[in-house]
Amino acid sequence: MTGRDTAPDAVARLRAAGCVWAEDEAALLEEAAGSPADLEGLVSRRVAGEPLELVLGWVEFLGRRLDVGPGVFVPRRRTELLAREALARVPGRGPGGEPAVVVEMCCGVAPVAASLVPTGAEVHAADLSADALAHARSNAPGAELHRGDLYDALPRRLRGRIDVIAANAPYVPTDRIAAMPPEARVHEPHVSLDGGADGVDVHRRLAAGAVGWLAPGGVLLVETSASQASLTTSAMERAGLVAEVVVDDEIGGCVAVGVSRPAAVTA
């Protein structure tokens, strides 16, 4: 970027707006700007309360930059646990050489699918939002994208064949959305936040439908919170899955794991 040095002014404005990491944010915004005028526009958006990631157009996730933009849910670092669990549970190729089948439900910009594509698995991602799927297409090239409501979005040919379903479904209780930071409450889609009265309505729907779609021994992974994990695992157990919880305190990640029972072996 050429022209006058605008970084000190940017830092001061960001700090005055309450940005804790003003120096770091100013450096990122300056890197993204093509001119002083561009920088002014980016800083103004950030000072007005727009999330940094949406201003930049990307978010870092498991070491890669994912494309994001206005009107989409921004992946959080805690969701890296969901992606790591999905990666760890993708099986090798079957006896006929067929790849594993994995699905990211409620995918948003597809952070988990983006992490899974390099494994060589058959990767699918589904969401209600056309805007989110446009970013998912950029982030997870090679994944098959589907628009619709949970399992209704998936092609019938996947029934009984999916090895891993991973979902960061909305899990904020409805009456707590008003208390969320404006960066989320104002700038991210309400549907990506609202999990119903206790926050796990969508988790129950995911669990209830999973058995018909999972392969024997397949796994459903759902991001949840420590306070809601027992509700999520209870829904999995009612659906016939064997449930447990995995946590990563360092990043605040919490994932409910539900495993379908292997097919019965007949003599």
pLDDT in tens, 193-241: 999 999 999 999 999 999 999 999 999 999 999 999 999 999 999 999 9
Q: How far apart are CA 127 and CA 183, in angstroms?
A: 22
Is the Cα dihedral 181, 185, 191, 196 positive or negative? positive
pLDDT band for position 45 (50/70/90)?
A: very high
- Structural domain boundaries of the chain? 7-48, 77-259
In the chain the beta strands, taken as DSSP E runs, fall at: 58-61, 64-67, 101-105, 122-127, 144-147, 162-167, 214-223, 242-248, 253-259
Question: Tokens 């056309």, residue?
Answer: 130
Residue 128 DSSP SS3: coil
Q: How far apart are CA 37 and CA 103, in angstroms?
A: 42
Phi-psi group of 120: left, alpha or beta (phi > 0 → left; psi -120 to 50 → alpha; rest → beta): left
Sheet with 162-167: strands ordered across: 144-147, 122-127, 101-105, 162-167, 214-223, 253-259, 242-248
pLDDT of residue 267: 41
pLDDT in tens, 50-91: 999 999 999 999 999 999 998 999 999 999 999 999 999 998
pLDDT of residue 95: 67
pLDDT band for position 92 (50/70/90)?
A: confident
Instruction: Give yes or no for residue 177 having a pLDDT over 80.
Output: yes
Question: Tokens 């409450």, residue?
Answer: 185
Instruction: Give the torsion through C-alpha atoms of 159, 161, 167, 170, to 10 deg.
Output: 10
Q: How many CB atoms lie within 10 A of CB 101?
A: 23
pLDDT of residue 77: 96
**CATH number of 77-259: 3.30.450.20, 3.60.10.10, 1.20.120.80, 3.40.50.150?**
3.40.50.150
Percentage above 90 pLDDT, the chain: 82
Q: How far apart are CA 58 and CA 137, in angstroms?
A: 14
* Nearest of 231, 115, 239, 238 to residue 256 by alpha carbon: 231
pLDDT of residue 261: 85
Distance of CA 84 to the CA centre of its chain: 12
pLDDT band for position 8 (50/70/90)?
A: confident
pLDDT in tens, 30-40: 999 988 899 99
Average per-residue pLDDT for the chain: 92
pLDDT of residue 263: 66
The more confident residue out of 262 and 105 is 105
pLDDT band for position 97 (50/70/90)?
A: confident
| One-letter amino acid of 68 | V
pLDDT of residue 266: 42
pTM of the model: 0.91
Phi and psi at 167, nearest 5°, equal -145, 130
